[in-house]
């Protein structure tokens, strides 16, 4: 997506574009869950989604004149970026959705990314975290536990805990992905970063696609019921949303942009509720609200401190 620099410098516009990316990602949990419910192999639709998204961005960057070759010195950065996401992230996220049996719960776990951003800031970058930040972390964990406990009491899949672990691994990979995107954003446009990310990611996923994805190929895999969600995931949730998100990371930074991920679970829950996919009880809605409030608190003071230091 080629957005004029003057518009990109407007934070209000960046917030709107960031919100659009989050809404699209919130919907992606619904489409992924539909494919899983239809018994479509994860190693079929995930590699297909990533490959289509990468090729679409190649075409887009060429016709808009934004295409540029990768510098040799940056090869390892793009390789690491693609390892974090799509390889580790999408596999852990998709299997996490499958094992938990709930797109809303899955989105909520992914929404805890800002908590781990705070942890990375303390352990790796030696940043100071205020008492309000730590309180936010505790509140968020309490909200997540509230929703998970409610879900566990309503009859969950046997591998529900495994699903939670996989989703937490996806969260860690997202922190790494955001960090690498920030490193590359000074030299490459957002849509170029995402293009190479998905092309290299397709190579990572190719062995899985050839050995497991099409091992028991069925003609239904190319039906409109399957390709509709796959194309929606590729074009909207990958090509468009990831380009918008790379732009957000470039303009706002890793910590500030991660706050928006807190709203992903809300977007998923609202979409799931509207289409009748899931119906959450009152205590689960309360848990979502508590978790979102905690995530905002976990970031608020540190963001203010950064603004003061930048003056």
Predicted confidence (pLDDT) per residue in 162-185, tens digit: 888 898 898 889 888 888 888 898
> How high is the pLDDT of residue 109?
79
Quote the percentage of the chain above a pLDDT of 90.
Answer: 23
Span 130-141, average pLDDT: 76
Q: From CA 57, how far away is CA 196, in angstroms rounded?
A: 9
| Position 26 confidence tier, pLDDT thresholds 50, 70, 90 | confident
Average pLDDT over residues 276-303: 72
Distance CA 249, CA 127 (A): 19
| 57 has pLDDT over 80 | yes
Q: Is 0.75 topped by the overall pTM?
A: no
Cα distance between residue 145 and residue 155, in whole Å: 16
Q: Among 6-20, 179-193, 237-251, 294-308, where is mean pLDDT lowest?
A: 294-308
- The residue among 267, 227, 176 whose CA lies nearest residue 49 is 227
Distance CA 258, CA 264 (A): 11
Per-residue pLDDT at 279 exceeds 90: no
Q: Please give the residue that has the higher pLDDT: either 252 or 83.
A: 83
Tell me which of 61 and 257 has the higher pLDDT: 61
pLDDT at 2: 52
- Find how far residue 134's CA is from the centre of its chain: 24
- pLDDT average, residue stretch 103-115: 72
CA angle 206, 218, 28 (to 5 degrees): 60
Distance (Å, whole) CA 34 – CA 244: 25
Of 233, 260, 248, 257, nearest in space to 306 by CA: 257
pLDDT at 309 over 50: no
| pLDDT confidence tier of residue 304, bands split at 50, 70 and 90 | very low
How would residue 278 be classed by pLDDT, with cut points 50, 70 and 90?
low
How far, in Å, CA of 71 to CA of 66, rounded?
15
Which range has the top average pLDDT, 24-28, 31-35, 229-233? Answer: 229-233
* Range 40-49 average pLDDT: 90
pLDDT of amino acid 234? 93
Output the pLDDT for position 61.
Answer: 92
Q: What angle do CA 171, 176, 177 make, to 5 degrees?
A: 90
Buried b (16+ CB within 10 A) or exposed e, 212-244: ebeeeeeeebeeeebeebbbbbbbbbbbbbbbb
Nearest to 194 by CA among 87, 64, 54, 73: 54
Q: Which segment of 215-224, 235-244, 252-261 scores lowest on mean pLDDT?
A: 252-261
Q: In the prediction, which pLDDT does 58 show?
A: 95
Mean pLDDT of the chain: 79
The closest of 12, 91, 76 to 44, measured between CA atoms, is: 91
- Is the pLDDT reported for residue 159 higher than 50? yes
């Amino acid at each position: 997506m080629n957005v004029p620099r003057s518009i990109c410098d407007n934070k209000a516009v960046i917030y709107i574009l960031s919100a659009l990316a989050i809404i699209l990602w919130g919907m992606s949990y619904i489409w992924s869950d539909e494919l899983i419910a239809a018994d479509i192999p994860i190693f079929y639709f995930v590699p297909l989604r990533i490959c289509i998204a990468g090729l679409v961005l190649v075409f887009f960057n060429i016709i808009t004149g934004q295409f540029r070759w990768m510098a040799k010195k940056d090869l390892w950065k793009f390789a690491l970026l693609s390892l974090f996401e799509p390889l580790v992230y999408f596999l852990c996220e998709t299997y996490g959705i499958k094992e938990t049996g709930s797109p809303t719960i899955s989105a909520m776990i992914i929404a805890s990314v800002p908590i781990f951003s705070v942890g990375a800031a303390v352990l790796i970058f030696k940043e100071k975290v205020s008492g309000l930040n730590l309180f936010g972390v505790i509140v968020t964990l309490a909200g997540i536990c509230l929703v998970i406990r409610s879900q566990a009491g309503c009859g969950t899949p046997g591998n529900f805990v495994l699903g939670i672990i996989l989703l937490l691994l996806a969260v860690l990979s997202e922190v790494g992905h955001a960090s690498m995107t920030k490193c590359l954003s000074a030299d490459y446009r957002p849509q170029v970063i995402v293009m190479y990310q998905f092309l290299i990611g397709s190579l990572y996923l190719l062995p899985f696609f050839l050995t497991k994805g099409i091992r028991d190929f069925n003609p239904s895999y190319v039906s409109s019921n399957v390709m509709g969600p796959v194309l929606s995931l590729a074009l909207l949730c990958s090509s468009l949303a990831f380009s918008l998100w790379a732009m957000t990371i470039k303009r706002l930074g890793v910590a500030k942009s991660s706050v928006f991920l807190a709203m992903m679970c809300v977007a998923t829950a609202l979409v799931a509720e509207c289409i009748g996919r899931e119906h959450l009880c009152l205590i689960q809605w309360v848990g979502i609200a508590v978790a979102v409030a905690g995530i905002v608190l976990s970031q608020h003071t540190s963001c203010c401190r950064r603004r003061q230091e930048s003056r």
